[in-house]
Chains A and B, each alone.
Chain A
Amino acid sequence: MIHVASLTYTYPTGKKMEFPNFTVDRGEHCLLLGESGCGKTTLLHLLGGLLRTTTGNIKIGGQDLGKLSEAGLDDFRGKHVGFVFQKNHLITALTVEQNLLLAPYLSKKPGAGVAEVLSALNLQGLQSKKITTLSQGQAQRVAIARALMNKPDVILADEPTSALDDKNCDAVIDLLMNVAKENQATLVIATHDSRLKSKVKRKIELR
């Protein structure tokens, strides 16, 4: 599903990053491990088409990201990739339902039903709630729900658990893995959280 070959990225500051070659199969779950500053977020952004590679190439589901135009990349991201960020970054001016509906609207892809996704994540009845009234745990789950709205092929999670205590950490990682399994989505989690190491078998170490 994800195929990375001789990938490098050079920051505007001139700092150069080299990434190992790796392949992640469809439906596989894997961790991107490494200390902060080793390029985990950069790699995740490269995989999601938020950044362009300097050299080398990334193929997702057979599509070479380097060959897509700027608009093509936006479109690809919207249709095939779901992001979960460390801070949940929901749009506070909108309701829960509007946040979820934004995903299919922006990607121009018919999405899943809001009620369906919410109930799968134990969030029934929150449709018309303001984001600011949600608890931390609820907000994180809404963010995951949003990533699922488009039934993505790939879910990219950036430090989804680092701000959570052990109990919530377990809940969130289990949830992510469950929903990825149910959606037959490939899950890539970038983290330096060692609590996750026992949960996910496949690990890619960055240096």
Chain B
Amino acid sequence: MNLFVVVWGYLKAKPLNTVLNILLLSLGIGVITTLIVFNNQFQEKISDNSRGIDLVVGAKGSPLQLVLCSVFHIDFPTGNIKLREAEMLSKNRMVKKAIPMALGDSYRNFRIVGTDTSYAGLFHAQLKEGNWWKEDLEVVAGSATAEALKLSIGDTFASAHGLTEDGHDHEENKYKVAGILQTSHSVADNLLFTNVSSVWKVHDIHEQPDSAREITSLLIRYRNPIAALQLPRMINSNTNMQAASPAFETARLFSILGIGVDVLLGIASTIIIVSALSIFIALYNSLKERRYDMAIMRSMGAGRTRLFAAVILEGTILTLIGSVLGILLGHLLILGFTTLVEEGARTGISAMVFYTSEIILIAGSLVLGVICSMIPAVQAYQTDIHKVLSGN
């Protein structure tokens, strides 16, 4: 026999109340957990995916779109830039490295990226099997792509124009799988790589003169810090192209998303406050019914502090269960999102990563439990045994 058995008995005696209180709190905590996990991993993914890319150069348009398209492969291209101009820029002394990107085709929703082998190097993506392309129309598949499309070395397929499933197929030039990459937990997992001239070949523009050739964008790494100041300004004012900084654009994106996150946080906080209120009311009401119980316990030798502790324990047990369940709920939500929804799977977010802020969440809930049970606990402490037992 201990205090926990007594308190647990009380919680079990009112199952609906107990379940409602736990559910309410776990709902609020669940939403916050989802936000924590999502936000943290989203930021990690973004910085991982844009590592080594200082600047994206592409056709004029939305800089955010250009970055989303060329770095994260989620938006559509802003247009094309002339290969000649891109090559000239690559030779600029402020550019340490420039990687060309030719986008626009896909195979069953997975993007085909015409680039050179150094692009995969950005993500430290190593070949798992096969080789890099040696000639046109050979592709290397990212690990998730290969798995989802069940591609193996030697398979052939026709790409579709556009980035959706309903684009018309380029039946005349079929790609052939030459290699498959290891998992790198980056966007590279979800892409198909080939060389730039394969993309041209598919679009029948090989016969055109060099001056007419185009690519989608250029990923640039600066040679020195001064380039960060000069190069974007030079590109934006002196050429038909635009320069967008992934760091700046993603920060801008976060500030836009931040409003949504704030709204969700507000809703979650409201749910938690309501659940705290509900726990307080439940304890307060049940204490009225338990006045006799408490007087009896006092008559059996229980001190005032013991009754005080029992009520606090009841509040904290409720919030402890609620917060732990809430955290599990949050991870379960993400697990569902990443396994059941295709877009979720492509984000590469893992539900099985836990953060220290979740421990803070549990600790905070315990403090909340203590606060909600404080007034009822003081009442328990002050119970006048004689008055209760003599019935007036």
A92's partner among B2, B6, B13 (CB-CB below 8 A) is B13
Tell me if A45 and B386 are in contact (CB < 8 A).
yes
Interface status of A79 (Cβ within 8 A of chain B): yes
Binds B, one of A60-68, A104-112, A160-168, A196-204: A104-112
Q: Which B residues lie within 8 Å of A75 (CB)?
A: 301, 303
- Tell me the bound Cα distance from A146 to B1 in angstroms: 14
- Cβ contacts under 8 Å, B306 to chain A: 106
Q: A45-B390, A91-B9, A93-B10 are in contact. Are A50 and B299 (CB under 8 A)?
A: yes
Q: Which of A128-183 contact B (CB under 8 A)?
A: 146, 150, 158
Stretch in B116-124, B129-137, B235-243, B289-297 touching the partner: B289-297
Cβ–Cβ contact A79 & B301, under 8 A: yes
- B6, B10, B299: the one contacting A77 at CB < 8 Å is B299
Of B1, B5, B292, the residue contacting A89 (CB under 8 A) is: B292
CA of A77 to CA of B303 in the docked complex: distance in angstroms?
A: 10
CB of A74 within 8 A of CB of B298, answer yes
Compute the total of residue contacts between A and B using a CB distance below 8 Å: 85
Q: Contacts A78-B300, A91-B296 given; indicate if A105 touches B1 (C-beta within 8 A).
A: yes
Which residues of B, 1-40, contact A by the 8 Å Cβ criterion?
A: 1-2, 5-6, 9-10, 12-13
Are B299 and A104 touching (Cβ within 8 A)? Answer: no
With contacts A42-B390, A91-B293, A105-B2 known, is A48 near B299, CB below 8 A? yes
Give per-residue flags for A95-121: 1 if the beta carbon is below 8 A from chain B beta carbons, else 0.
000100111111111000000000000
Q: Is the CB of B297 within 8 A of A106?
A: yes
Measured between alpha carbons, how far is A118 from B303 in the docked complex, in Å?
Answer: 27
Chain B residues within 8 Å of A101, by CB: 1
* Of B295, B302, B386, the contact of A106 (CB 8 Å cutoff): B302
Residue in B5, B297, B385 whose beta carbon sits within 8 Å of that of A98 in the complex:
B5
Q: Decide yes or no whether B389 CB sits under 8 A from chain A.
A: yes
Q: Identify which of A41, A78, A106 contacts B390 (C-beta below 8 A).
A: A41
Residue of chain A at shortest CB distance from B306: A106
> Does the CB pair A89–B296 fall under 8 Å?
yes
Distance in angstroms from A71 CB to nearest chain B CB is 5
B389 touches A45 (CB 8 A): yes
Shortest distance from the beta carbon of B346 to any chain A beta carbon, whole Å: 51
**Interface pair A71/B301, CB less than 8 Å apart:** no
Contact of A50 among B1, B298, B303 (CB under 8 A): B298
Chain A 77-95, CB within 8 Å of chain B: the 1/0 string? 1110101010001111110
Q: Answer yes or no: A5 CB below 8 A from chain B CBs.
A: no
Bound form: Cα–Cα A71–B1 in Å: 21
Q: Does A70 contact B (CB under 8 A)?
A: yes
Taking CB atoms and an 8 Å cut-off, the chain B residues in 262-294 that contact chain A are 292-293
Give the chain B neighbours of A81 by CB distance below 8 A. 299
From B10, B301, B302, B389, name the one whose CB has the most chain A CB atoms within 10 angstroms. Answer: B301
Which residues from 36 to 76 on chain A have a C-beta closer than 8 Å to any C-beta of chain B? Answer: 41-42, 45, 48, 50-51, 70-71, 74-75
Closest to B302 in A: A106
B304 is an interface residue with CB less than 8 A from chain A? yes
| Contact status B389-A85, CB under 8 Å | yes
| Nearest chain A CB to B2 CB, angstrom units | 7
B299 touches A83 (CB 8 A): yes
Q: How far is the CB of A14 from chain B (nearest CB, A)?
A: 16
Q: How far is the CB of B1 from chain A (nearest CB, A)?
A: 4
What is the bound-complex CA distance between A41 and B298, given in angstroms? 16
CB proximity of B376 to chain A, nearest CB, Å:
16
- Shortest Cβ distance from A132 into B: residue: B13
Min C-beta distance of B125 to chain A, whole Å: 61
Bound complex: CA of A85 vs CA of B12, how far in Å? 26
Determine if B300 and A103 form an interchain contact, defined as CB atoms under 8 angstroms apart.
Answer: yes
Q: Are B300 and A106 in contact, CB atoms less than 8 angstroms apart? A: yes
Pick the contact of A78: B1, B301, B386 (CB < 8 A): B301
Q: How far is the CA of A153 from the CA of B303 in the complex (A)?
A: 20
List A contacts of B300 (CB < 8 A). Answer: 77-78, 83, 102-103, 106-107, 146
Determine the chain A residues whose CB is within 8 A of the CB of B385 once the complex forms. Answer: 45, 50
Q: Closest residue to A158 on the B side, CB-wise?
A: B389
Measured between C-beta atoms, what is the minimum distance from B213 to chain A in Å? 81
Question: Which A residues lie within 8 Å of B303 (CB)?
Answer: 70-71, 74-75
- The reply to whether B293 and A106 contact each other, CB–CB distance below 8 Å, is no
Q: Could you list which residues of chain B lie within 8 angstroms of chain A, going by C-beta atoms? A: 1-2, 5-6, 9-10, 12-13, 292-293, 295-304, 306, 385-386, 389-390
23 A-B pairs with CB atoms under 8 Å apart are A45-B385, A45-B386, A50-B298, A50-B385, A50-B386, A71-B303, A74-B302, A74-B303, A75-B303, A78-B301, A79-B301, A81-B299, A85-B389, A89-B295, A91-B296, A93-B293, A94-B9, A98-B6, A102-B1, A105-B1, A105-B2, A109-B301, A158-B389
Task: Beyond the given A45-B389, A83-B300, A146-B300, please list 8 additional residue pairs across the A-B interface where CB-CB is below 8 A.
Answer: A41-B390, A50-B298, A93-B10, A93-B293, A94-B5, A94-B6, A101-B1, A102-B6
